[in-house]
Amino acid sequence: MNKATEANFDGLVGPTHNYSGLSFGNVASLNNSTRASNPKAAAKQGLTKMKALADMGFVQGVLAPHERPHIPTLRKLGFAGSDTKVLEQVTKQAPKLLAAVSSASCMWTANAATVSPSGDTSDGRVHFTPANLINKFHRSIEHETTGAILQATFKDEIHFSHHNALPNVDHFGDEGAANHTRFCDQYGEQGIEFFVYGMEAFNQDSPRPTKFPARHTLEASQAVARAHGLSDKQVVYAQQNPAVIDAGVFHNDVIAVGNRNTHFYHQEAFLDTAKMKQDLLKAWGDRASQFHLIEVPSNRISIEDCVQSYLFNSQLLSRGDNDMVLVVPGECENNSTVWNYLNELVEGQSPINEIKMFDLKQSMSNGGGPACLRLRVVLTDAECKAVNPSTLMSNTLFERLNQWVDKHYRDELREADLADPQLLLESHTALDELTQILNLGSVYEFQR
């Protein structure tokens, strides 16, 4: 077994971060659709979390934002002429479309891709499949650039294998790592990959939500498991409880989080909790007593409190064997039921023995907590050395990115501002400079 560690790659918030109510089924996105955003504060809140984790000794990387408004999409949809002309026309004819192609939603890199570490894959490489995010138009335009950025970050073909996104249809709706968790004893050994889905696409009679969409299908997860070369006995599937999707749990990472030998989840998260436990314990094998199932009962914390506080959208990080820290959003402290629970949890017998809290309000107001903002990539020492070093957080990079944000970002943005041709120019200038800072090459269409 190779020694390995879990790295976190956070999405850097882009200059057009705004609230426009694009995500039906995501309570925060719908509730905040008329508010002004603060892109500068949003980017800095994210950077503060990344830096704090790097300072705690974790490997922390940065994934660049995408070009927005995305003019190439508007051109595909028939708008023509200069960029300014395109903006002018779309503003007049289809303002909601402009909002959709302007979203900074690629910041939530838990949805960027599904990643399988080399310990799990048949060819011994780390595999990446960008998520097609087909359920929301504004997110369905992410996967190509995501793929380009992942390839510029994890370049070496000896260590890294990059797949295309799955077919762009609802049957293969894929929301990436937000619905994927890996359990293991040590990171470098073969682990259990746990795929959670919202519905079975090819089985009309199977249970599914009635109010909000199930974004992710079983068939998508199966395709990713095949493409990554995972062995059947190391893969476990579980269906989300349709009722919690209808209550605002649009991704499983709003209601469950896992790391190594610990699964922390809500009693109502899964359609069949007993089966989920049985399947995980079976895959875990003969050391079942070392696997921790921390189930939060409904009479302790309601689904509504989970959705409001984002308790489970936390990062569960190992500082050593049986020593984990839970990184939660500030909203958890403001909810006394959740806060009391967390204090009891760290004092109890579970491996979770510290809580760290971050102010991520700008992202939270669009339904993205600490876990949404990061893509986990388990890397051996050799793989870690092969990562593009300019993307790894350090004192220098932290300072450089803060200066970059100060120079290029606005501190207030409303939906109406998205029509401003100056914003497009600012965004291109900023991203062009960023590709140099992160040494990414020409990953954006406007650079080619």
Ligand X SMILES: NCCC[C@H](NC(=O)CCC(=O)O)C(=O)O
List alpha helices for 247-369, DSSP H: 273-284, 303-309, 336-347, 361-364
Other beta carbons within 10 angstroms of residue 176's beta carbon come to: 29
The piece of 15-23, 88-96, 278-286, 352-360 that touches ligand X (CB under 6 A) is 15-23
Q: How far is the CB of 212 from ligand X (least distance, A)?
A: 11
> Cβ distance 188 to 260 under 8 Å?
no
Should residue 221 be labelled a site residue for ligand X when binding is judged by CB under 6 A? no
CB nearer to ligand X: give 280 or 372. 372
CB nearer to ligand X: give 20 or 217. 20
Should residue 368 be labelled a site residue for ligand X when binding is judged by CB under 6 A? yes
The piece of 17-25, 161-169, 237-245, 404-412 that touches ligand X (CB under 6 A) is 17-25
3-state SS, 36-64, equals CECHHHHHHHHHHHHHHHHHCCCCEEEEC
What is the C-alpha to C-alpha distance for residues 327 and 204, in angstroms, rounded to an integer?
38
What is the C-alpha to C-alpha distance for residues 185 and 4, in angstroms, rounded to an integer?
11
Should residue 22 be labelled a site residue for ligand X when binding is judged by CB under 6 A? yes
What is the C-alpha to C-alpha distance for residues 369 and 359, in angstroms, rounded to an integer?
10
List CB contacts of 383: < 8 A, sequence separation 6 or more. 4, 118, 126, 159, 160
- Under DSSP, is residue 195 helix (H, G, I), strand (E, B) or coil? strand
372 is catalytic: yes
Should residue 108 be labelled a site residue for ligand X when binding is judged by CB under 6 A? yes
Residue 91 in tokens:
């503003």
Catalytic residue among 331, 372, 415, 428: 372
Catalytic residue among 17, 159, 251, 428: 251
175 is catalytic: yes
Should residue 65 be labelled a site residue for ligand X when binding is judged by CB under 6 A? no
DSSP character for 198?
S
CB nearer to ligand X: give 178 or 397. 178
List alpha helices for 233-334, DSSP H: 242-246, 273-284, 303-309
Site for ligand X (CB under 6 A): which residue of 90, 372, 405, 418? 372
Should residue 310 be labelled a site residue for ligand X when binding is judged by CB under 6 A? no
Pattern of binders to ligand X over 169-188, x per CB under 6 A?
---------x----------
Should residue 166 be labelled a site residue for ligand X when binding is judged by CB under 6 A? no
Q: Phi then psi for 125, rounded to 5 degrees?
A: -110, 165
What is the C-alpha to C-alpha distance for residues 28 and 108, in angstroms, rounded to an integer?
14
Should residue 23 be labelled a site residue for ligand X when binding is judged by CB under 6 A? yes
Helix then strand then coil, in percent of the chain rounded to 5, is: 40, 20, 40
CB nearer to ligand X: give 26 or 309. 26
Residue 95 in tokens:
């303002």
Q: How far is the CB of 421 from ligand X (least distance, A)?
A: 21
Tokens 């705690």: give the residue: 56
Should residue 106 be labelled a site residue for ligand X when binding is judged by CB under 6 A? no
| Binding site residue list for substrate | 20-29, 111, 138-139, 215, 253, 366
Other beta carbons within 10 angstroms of residue 81's beta carbon come to: 11
CB nearer to ligand X: give 230 or 307. 307
Site for ligand X (CB under 6 A): which residue of 125, 139, 159, 410? 139
Should residue 14 be labelled a site residue for ligand X when binding is judged by CB under 6 A? no
180 is catalytic: no
Q: Which residues bind ligand X (CB under 6 A)?
A: 19-23, 26, 29, 103, 105, 108, 110-111, 136, 139, 178, 250-251, 366-368, 372
- Residues marked active site are found at 175, 251, 372
